[in-house]
Structure 1
């Protein structure tokens, strides 16, 4: 199971959610955001991002074909984490922690670029152009996407008009002291129930809690359930950024993957953390902008959901719970009950896979 789970996880992350990677997980911020490029020899690596002269050097290894690498830097000295390339071929190979380290998956969401020769001082390959690994994620790349909001109306969307409106090319959800929310309410996209897809949305909020629903269902009204209530996976958003970046299941299993976690849900079992991402929850919190626009990028494919926030992978769920998971469903936005709030969404792009 572990090989299958990790194989799916690495394939999803490296193919559709490549992020600024790192050579190894170390104890200082200087270790973050680097990628290693294998030279023609298996004993020397050089960082592609970071200070000049920072490199990785392989300590001796008795294991054939896999040489561990301890990240080093001329300014900070050796790092604590040791990583090794997995046997996936030279292009897009992943890193995993070497035995005896902290156990943090150093390169979930990170790939190793392959290059013939070390980088020169000018940032170009020392031996000419050669094969390269995954390209960095471009936040504004909408190739193959379609806009699902016309910018002027809520045509194609369904929600309580006393809370939701379109203005200034944004979808706005707002409650006030005079018009408070009595329970969570949702704006539902009526354009279909996509299964495998990518969704990009920009959001901004000034209070309380919200979220982006995917692969969800609308509950029938009655009792404590209003007319516009959804159940399903949610990219959580809150003003305090305590939960922003996590994957939650509204009116279901609750917290699935906290920010910074990769989680596997076995059939009939509870979510299990199978690894931590290249940045911790606190480090990922630093990429979130308060009182400003943020972009959430969701990739849903098969039983796997990847959340990317402002270009950083924040949470991953691999869901094998056949009774509770959803492999397709509605999209929507949430307004959460609580103090008066305003949440705005814009640049809503969908690509079916």
Structure 2
């Protein structure tokens, strides 16, 4: 009897073995390409002003200092339709930004493309995941979704045709379709879709923000 029980047990283990772990599901990251290696600024070009505002620390891009923009100049640039993802963390009172469809410039605020705001508690009322000055997210919107300083959140930017989606931690904060006859933002800023690159913003010396796991999927 003992021999029979052991035989049955072995048979059960053998049958269960291949099914003990669920089949591996396709990766949600299929098609994404890293655009920051976590060790250097390879593939990025800093504006010529205040270049010490950007540092690479323990796998993170860190901005702390006077205004300076870091422009992606790697092999995926320029981009038209794409899906961008990054993990972002703000510190209290900090402001930064993620520009897209923009172009390199040596100084000043980027004149081309749109900005996805990075700001949880800075005095600017346009908060994280706002399409800056086009469709704005409020502090209440962030609080309702549990977005806080000193905590990592995932920011996604999706551009398809004339549609822009800005998503935080899986929650769509902005879904904007640019009118075909959209005029320039104002005389100083050409805020329209076309094609261009990603740029990260160091805003001011009191703002410290962190970026990691930056990746893009061309669409």
Does TM, scored on the shorter chain, surpass 0.5? yes
> Hey, what does 2:33 align to over in structure 1?
146
Q: Which residue of 1 aligns with 2:201?
A: 334
Is the 1:284–1:314 Cα contact (8 Å) retained in structure 2? no
2:149 to 290, 297, 306: 290
The answer for the alignment partner of 1:197 in structure 2 is 82
Q: What is the distance in 2 between the residues matched to 1:296 and 1:216?
A: 18
Q: Tell me the residue number matched to 2:173.
A: 314
TM-score relative to the length of structure 1:
0.46
Residues 163-174 of structure 1: pairs in structure 2 closer than 5 A: 163-174=53-64
Quick one: which of 78, 102, 116 aligns to 1:235?
Answer: 116
| Alpha-carbon distance between aligned partners in 2 of 1:258 and 1:239, rounded to the nearest angstrom | 13
Residue 216 of structure 1 corresponds to 102
1:210-268: CA deviation from partner (whole Å, max 9, x where unpaired): 1111111234x5xxxx2x642321110113174112101xxxxxx101228xxxxxxxx
Task: Give the unaligned 5+ runs of structure 1.
Answer: 1-139, 176-180, 249-254, 261-280
Q: Helix, strand or coil: the match of 2:52?
A: coil
Tell me how far 1:322 sits from its aligned partner: 4.6
CA separation of 1:349 and 1:340: change in aligned 2, threshold 3 A? same
Greater RCO structure (CA 8 Å; 6+ sep):
2
Residue 208 of structure 1: how far off its partner (Å): 2.4
Q: Which has the higher helix share?
A: 2
Query: Out of 65, 69, 92, which is 1:186 matched to?
Result: 69
The answer (yes or no) to whether the contact 1:142–1:349 under 8 Å persists in 2 is no
Contact 1:218 1:229 in 2 (8 A): no
Alignment coverage as a number of residue pairs: 174
Q: Is the 8 A contact 2:51 2:68 kept in 1?
A: no
Could you state the TM-score of these two structures normalised by the residue count of structure 2? 0.72
Relative distance call for 1:190 and 1:244 in structure 2 (3 A) is same
Distance (Å, rounded) in 1 between the aligned partners of 2:171 and 2:71: 27
The answer to whether the 8 A contact 1:302-1:327 is kept is no
Distance in 2 between the 1:209 and 1:341 partners?
6
3-state SS of 2:89 partner: strand
| Per-residue Cα deviation, 1:113-144 (whole angstroms, up to 9, x for no partner) | xxxxxxxxxxxxxxxxxxxxxxxxxxx83111
Aligned to 2:189: none
